Structure 1
Amino acid sequence: MKPISSRDNPLFKELKLLATSSQARRKAGRTLLDGVHLCEAYLQHLGLPPMCIVSESASVHPEVVPLLMQCEAGRVQCIVLPEALYQAVSQVEHGIGLMFVIDTPAIEVPATLTGSAVLLDNLQDPGNLGSILRSAAAAGIEYVFCSPGTAFAWSPKVLRAGMGAHFLLKIIENTDLAAVIRNASVTVLATSSYAQERVYDVDLTQPVAWLFGHEGQGVADELLELATHRVAIPHLGAMESLNVAACAAVCFFEQVRQREAGSAKSQRHLLG
């Protein structure tokens, strides 16, 4: 492991930029995974990272040592930082001092959308985006398309909220959502509090693409016009609408419920 002790070290300055600047992350095509859970998930699903960063105290921590040994065995560049320098890079309070530097995946837009997907139109909040990614991965959704105005999916805040979901999804940013919808061979469902059709009344047993919009303004009118259906989530309280991440979770797991029910029905038919 290579120790770095100076704030003037070029590599430390690069790490600081990756931690604090979205522009730097986009330009470098790299980001930081901060914390043991994210690093474990990356190793499990995608393999070894380009670089591993550890604080001096964490280098002997029982949760970190096996991950560190795995990286060293794979000849990953491993850097040790004193506590003060590590904390200057990390955005996690009271965390265990382990970080990976990773390359953000470059995934091409498929010519035709044929599987379950999520389309995000100008979603602003990193926490909402991370929560939606986590729910989408749990529901078995494959693709996530983000419009140019949507928060950067590979920012540290979104990564922390996603809890490893990024490594199970194909996330495509700066996407022309209108073109994706026009080229989709699956039903596209846009959520709208003004829709007459309930999400529970739509057949979700086949793959669908879910379209969610800006936290305050919702889905843009031009995208709403392209959607196959507009659906609403009924609620009994006096609240006007749900948080977009909560709305997405309800939709995804209604789809899971219907598909599970359909699978169980088919199995009973075969057995009967």
Structure 2
Amino acid sequence: MTLKTISSRDNPLYKELKHLATSSQARRKAGRTLLDGVHLCEAYLQQVGMPPLCIVSETALLNSEVTVILQECGNSETQSIVLPDALFHALSQVEHGIDILFVIDTPEQMEPQRLVQSAVLLDKVQDPGNFGSIVRSAAAAGIKQVFCSPGTTFAWSPKVLRAGMGAHFLIEIFENVDLEALIKRADIPVIATSSYAKKRIYDLDLTQPVAWLFGHEGQGVAEHLLALSTHQATIPHLGAIESLNVAASSAVCFFEQVRQQTSK
């Protein structure tokens, strides 16, 4: 196992890593992103394979979990780099974590022509925590596709990846999708959540594949997309709260679908 040590902030590779860590534009341009922490790195190894680059801090070399990952990377073409703790922590957004990062290539997915299997459609969902939680719940519910409109937060940002807890590697994510055109091509019902709808999600037949449409945290689903949906449905609640957080709403919807599909 060969480890390269970088000790200077002026090192060209370190400067590149700093851009990836701090700039969404740099991540999009490079087609790469950072996985931060042992859990995400282990999930990537298990579900995808070896990363192009593994970075650890000097302190993390003493950690047994990091040692195992480094050994796996050492048996492949992955480049492994050690940084002084101070340089590493300038790249990581995780406090009090185990100091390991993977640099990975962000997948380029070919958008399918039609909606034929259960999916999630996100209209300008902007909070990284919400996005990651939705992807995590979708993957747990067996949903394999997520389609994101322009204006939705970048699916592969470090914050979204941490909230997704490895779910990104189990699901196809399509960005900058024309949701209006996609809905018009759907071969399955499209269900939009709305706090103003009369129909409850519990009144719908969810034993078949459906596409769930969720909107911006404050404005909800755009009116022109609501008009195209097959059903508009609400999640009933008893407390004096106007609406649920979009990530919580999505989880309720996905697992009502799971309940109906498994109840027989």
Alignment TM class, shorter chain as reference: over 0.9
CA distance in 2, matches of 1:52, 1:177: 36
Quote the Cα distance in structure 2 between the aligned partners of 1:176 and 1:53: 37
Structure-1 residue corresponding to 2:239: 237
2:71 paired with 1:64: no
For residue 29 of structure 1, what is the amino acid of its counterpart? G
Rounded to whole Å, the distance in 2 between the matches of 1:73 and 1:61 is 19
Q: How does 1:197-216 map to 2 (within 5 A)?
A: 197-216=199-218
Q: What is the deviation of 1:180?
A: 1.1
Secondary structure of the equivalent of 2:191?
strand
Instruction: Tell me what 2:130 maps to.
Output: 128
2:103 is the counterpart of 1:94: no
Could you say what secondary structure the match of 1:43 adopts?
helix
AA in 2 matched with 1:12: Y
| Distance (whole Å) between structure 2 residues aligned to residue 85 and residue 108 of structure 1 | 37
Residues 24-65 of structure 1 show CA distances to partners (whole Å, capped at 9, x for unaligned) of 000000000000000000000000001101111112311111
Counterpart Cα distance in 1 of 2:189 and 2:126: 25
Q: For 1:164-203, list aligned pairs within 5 A.
A: 164-203=166-205
Match of 1:138 in 2: 140
- TM-score by length of structure 1 reads 0.96
Aligned residue pairs total 262
Q: TM (normalized to structure 2)?
A: 0.98
Identical pairs, percent: 71
Q: 1:27 aligns with which of 29, 37, 51?
A: 29
1:183-220 per-position Cα deviation (integer Å, ceiling 9, x unaligned): 11111000000001000010000110000000010000
- What displacement does 1:75 show? 2.3
2-structure distance, mates of 1:183, 1:142: 18
Q: CA RMSD in A?
A: 0.6
Q: 2:253 aligns with which of 240, 251, 255?
A: 251
The answer to whether the Cα contact below 8 Å between 2:190 and 2:212 also exists between their aligned partners in 1 is: yes
- SS of the aligned residue for 1:194 comes to coil
What is the alpha-carbon distance in structure 1 between the residues aligned to residue 22 and residue 141 of structure 2? Answer: 31
- Structure 1 unaligned spans of 5+: 263-272
Match of 2:114 in 1: 112
**Map 1:72-83 → 2, pairs under 5 A:** 72-83=74-85
Return structure 1 stretches of 4+ with deviation > 3 angstroms: none
Preserved contact between residue 52 and residue 77 of structure 2 (Cα < 8 Å): no
Opposite residue 2 of structure 1, the aligned amino acid is K
Q: Which runs of 5+ in 2 are unaligned?
A: none
Report SS of the residue matched to 1:63. Answer: helix
Contact 2:198 2:233 in 1 (8 A): yes
Q: Cα distance, 1:134 vs. partner?
A: 0.5
* Counterpart for residue 265 of structure 1: none
- 1:44 paired to 2:41: no
